[in-house]
Amino acid sequence: AQSVTQLDSQVPVFEEAPVELRCNYSSSVSVYLFWYVQYPNQGLQLLLKYLSGSTLVKGINGFEAEFNKSQTSFHLRKPSVHISDTAEYFCAVRGSGAGSYQLTFGKGTKLSVIP
């Protein structure tokens, strides 16, 4: 079984400032990691994912995340945020084994970009 902890429930940040949304996971097996974004009144969209290979993963809208196996973390970063980045962000994990299909989500981090 896996679990995900998103340490900050809300993150306010000024426009054009950098942001980091933290995610830590727990798992007894190798995992795949995901970040999803949910804009107001919309469904979840995949932002980026880590499956294997390079630990630095780039996603849509200028976001990137780095997989750190030793720290069991997958923090999401953006060097300069825009008003349109205001949304809720969910970190998720799935076991990488053949029988793994269930995505386990964190409780989400609400990012508010202040003009």
Sequential DSSP letters for 41-53: TS-EEEEEEE-SS
Of 14-22, 41-49, 62-70, 79-87, the segment contacting other proteins by CB under 8 A is 41-49
Give, as ranges, the residues between 42 and 101 that touch other proteins (CB under 8 A): 42-46, 49, 51-52, 90, 92, 94, 98, 100-101
User: Which residue do the tokens 């793994």 mark?
Assistant: 100
Which residue, 56, 40, 28, 44, is CA-closest to 111? 40
Residues that bind other proteins (CB under 8 A): 9, 32, 34, 36, 42-46, 49, 51-52, 90, 92, 94, 98, 100-108
